[in-house]
Structure 1
Amino acid sequence: MTMTSPVVHLARPHRPVVVAGSLRELAGPEHGLVELPLRLWWGPPLAFDLDDPDALLWMYENVLREAVRAEELRAWLHGPTLIRVWPRLNLPRGVRAAWEARHRILTR
């Protein structure tokens, strides 16, 4: 019997992608101004206006790329919003592949 190791997708060199176990656990904000912790976002602007579609996409792209713990995903992403904006997110191939492998609804 041949054993295969699971595929590890990378957000960038030497950084594995963190994927939420369930989209339902993503209970982050849906509206308003959001200031991410410095570890997730270190440049201007200081706050993302989630009611601005471009700002929302930009924030989600950064959280999905930079998160190293599932708690960060749960705190800053909202499951139904992620599903809605998924096709428009500009993500590294590894991030997109890891999330789509775990959550098939994102491939629709």
Structure 2
Amino acid sequence: MTAQSPSISPLTTAGVLKKRYAQRLPRSLDDLTGPVHGEVTLPLHVAWSGLRTYDLDRPRLRMSLYRTVLAEGQADDLATLLNWDLLLAQWPVLRTLVSRHIRLVWEDTFPTLRQVSAAA
């Protein structure tokens, strides 16, 4: 039996999830150049079952699309499917619908999101 090095701590589930979500973040919120109106069909690697096409002009569907992309999308998906203006407008409610790990990673990286939530 070998002793664990004190400098190496076991990974926690929270740490693994935060790292996973942080690696997907855009460099800037300006990189989120997705559509504002119309229908969007998510790629299979983002939505592999259930609803895949969302109408951005319907608020509930738009919120559902953003929730799915934040949870399952890769960096390129975030940039092409999400729009900065829509994310900002929806964030006060959207932040309550995503996991705590997603919320913390996004708000820690982009303090504007935390500020808009506090003002709402």
Q: Same fold (TM over 0.5)?
A: yes
1:92 matched to which residue of 2? 99
Higher deviation after alignment, 74-83 or 15-24 = 15-24
Among the aligned pairs, what percent are the same residue?
34
Q: Which has the higher contact order (CA 8 A, sep 6+)?
A: 1
Q: Which amino acid aligns with 1:101?
A: D
* Superposition RMSD in Å: 1.8
Q: Which has the larger radius of gyration?
A: 2
The alignment of Structure 1 onto Structure 2 pairs a total of residues equal to 98
Deviation at 1:8, TM superposition (A): 4.7
The 2-side partners of 1:95 and 1:39 are apart by: 18
Q: Name structure 1 gaps, 5 residues minimum.
A: 1-6
Asked whether the equivalents of residues 40 and 56 of structure 2 are also in contact (C-alpha less than 8 Å), the reply is yes
Q: Name structure 2 gaps, 5 residues minimum.
A: 1-13, 116-120
The 1-side partners of 2:105 and 2:16 are apart by: 6
User: TM-score, normalised to structure 1's length?
Assistant: 0.83
Q: Tell me the SS of whatever aligns to 1:34.
A: strand
Correspondence list, 1:14-25, <5 A: 16-17=20-21, 18-25=24-31
1:80 matched to which residue of 2? 85
Any idea what the Cα deviations from partners look like across 1:75-105, whole Å, max 9, x if unmatched?
1000111011011111001100000011000
Deviation at 1:63, TM superposition (A): 0.4
Deviation at 1:71, TM superposition (A): 1.2
Q: Which amino acid aligns with 1:54?
A: R
Is 1:28 paired with 2:38? no
The 2-side partners of 1:9 and 1:24 are apart by: 26
**Larger helix share, 1 or 2:** 2
Q: Which runs of 4+ in 1 moved over 6 A?
A: none
